[in-house]
Amino acid sequence: MEGMKKIATRDSYGNALVELGKIHDDIVVLDSDLAMATKTVLFKKEFPNRHFDCGIAECNMIDVAAGMSTFGLVPFASSFAMFAAGRAFEQVRNTVGYARLNVKICATHGGISVGEDGASHQCCEDFALMRTIPNMVVMSPSDDIEARQMVKAVYKYKGAVYIRFSRYAVPIYHDENFKFEIGKGEIVRDGSDIAIIANGLTVSESIRAAEILKSEGISARVINIATIKPLDEEMILNAAKDCGKIITVEEHTIIGGLGDAVCSLLAEKNPVPVKRIGINDEFGHSGSAAELLKQFGLSAENICVKVREMLGKN
């Protein structure tokens, strides 16, 4: 992974909106006084008449987006994850989810990699919150190429979507031949001793871990599950069958996110040993993103430690 170009997926989001806006005039973008941070400012510069700043009022923003969708527009509503998923949960649930409206909720600054902003802004509960809403698609891209394709895919999809984008720059490991599909996982590295299932920025750390483990004679399969809901059950069940042991890695609390989704599936259909790596029922705190990712065990080095433990190769 060394030497790869890095970009934050929030930048990918802003760039994808501009690309879509040039083609589709039914796209509108809403923000909550955070356009510079969420990167919707890029869309605002190109299409000022289709960008709406709703102020520091995410609840109202979601309701405005819902209303716009009923007129045939395709609204992308943007804020930090803490506010898009947390503050506005009631409106997302009752106005968007219950009514089955075509609203795209695109949150940036999710997880502990928000860094120095601290626990109040480090939303590590958003996957869990959004997964509980019926008919809500929940996703988290792993790099720039996947993020841009994801935004274009959700424009075509008719229904409510929640996407978390990262503030932290991550390596671009996909090439332009990659094709993203909602609800489909991706085997990034094949292997047979253990499967590492990840999403978001933890995919690149999982790839790096697999490279380290390979030098030790351990064959680790790395799976990118960018769509947390609906889950690619077939890919996960095949991994359980082929590898026998699974580790999940996510920049989210281990309660209610990717790890829980994988565990629930396997408990019902093919029980195998699973270790969840994530935020262990605690709040984050202020610090650099790189330091926090290591401290909370989301580094390639810690993933390797957990793999060795599961395989009895300490």
The catalytic residue positions are: 58
Alpha-carbon distance of 110 to 252, in angstroms, equals: 8
Q: Where are the beta strands (DSSP E) in 143-260?
A: 161-164, 169-171, 186-189, 194-198, 220-224, 227-229, 246-253
Q: Tokens 């671009």: give the residue.
A: 172
Q: Where are the beta strands (DSSP E) in the chain?
A: 6-8, 27-31, 51-53, 74-80, 104-108, 137-139, 161-164, 169-171, 186-189, 194-198, 220-224, 227-229, 246-253, 274-279
Alpha-carbon distance of 29 to 48, in angstroms, equals: 10
Task: List the 274-279 sheet strands across, edge first.
Answer: 186-189, 220-224, 194-198, 246-253, 274-279
CB count in 10 Å sphere of residue 175: 7
DSSP type of residue 117: G
| Both tokens assigned to 184 | 């489909």
Alpha-carbon distance of 96 to 101, in angstroms, equals: 5
Residue 305: name the closest of 263, 266, 277 by CA: 277
Instruction: For residue 167, give the 3-state DSSP assignment.
Output: coil
Label the pairing between strands 220-224 and 186-189.
antiparallel
CB count in 10 Å sphere of residue 231: 19
